[in-house]
A and B are shown apart, each in its own frame.
Chain A
Amino acid sequence: NAGVTQTPKFQVLKTGQSMTLQCAQDMNHNSMYWYRQDPGMGLRLIYYSASEGTTDKGEVPNGYNVSRLNKREFSLRLESAAPSQTSVYFCASSEFTAGGELFFGEGSRLTVL
């Protein structure tokens, strides 16, 4: 039972390069999320997708784009990476349940030089 799978786990980019973080869940959840974690800041919501075909901005969406490819997959794209986007990125999924938990992937550590 894989749960939420993120790829790649580590990536180093140069300023201005682009990349896509991939996320897939096998729990048949409707909602998916991308968070970033920075030291002293906790986790901050970048984008979320309440259901297949919908995406919405979270707290810190600037510099990112997302695609909900199907019910299982939700990707995060950095079009022109900046050093401020150096962070650990977490994908999560959840069901349509008030107060229900989010299930997180193991994280993707991104360094932008």
Chain B
Amino acid sequence: DQQVKQNSPSLSVQEGRISILNCDYTNSMFDYFLWYKKYPAEGPTFLISISSIKDKNEDGRFTVFLNKSAKHLSLHIVPSQPGDSAVYFCAASDPLIQGAQKLVFGQGTRLTINP
């Protein structure tokens, strides 16, 4: 049973436009949501996060929106740049267990920014 789902395997966006990546979850106990970016042959790197008590968090070109009633979050990238082309993973955090941060990941969305 997939607790975190990214239903779009791929997304293609024109450079300079807005990229919107979506993520749905089923477990209402998740307390944080994170987005990771992954380039080929590298490990995932942290992008931005949001607490379950917030509905928006912004960091430069990246904004994450959380709709708890719909169990849905989205990542907005404005403006999109060629270097943003990567696979983006949505992740949800179970509350800390003995201090460990257990993340449940979605399947990933491959974002391609076209010049």
Contacts and interface: CB of A to CB of B under 8 A. Distances in A.
Indicate, yes or no, whether A interacts with B: yes
Contacts of A41: 107
B99 A30 contact: yes
Contact of A99 (B49, B104, B107): B49
B89 interface: yes
Given A50-B97, A98-B32, A104 B43 contact: yes
Interface of A: 4, 30-31, 33, 35, 40-45, 48-51, 54, 56, 58-59, 90, 92, 94, 96-107
Given A99-B31, A102-B101, A40 B96 contact: no
Interface of B: 4, 6, 9, 31-32, 34, 41-46, 49, 51, 89, 91, 93, 95-108
A42 B105 contact: yes
Contacts of B100: 31, 33, 48-50, 56, 94
A105 B43 contact: yes
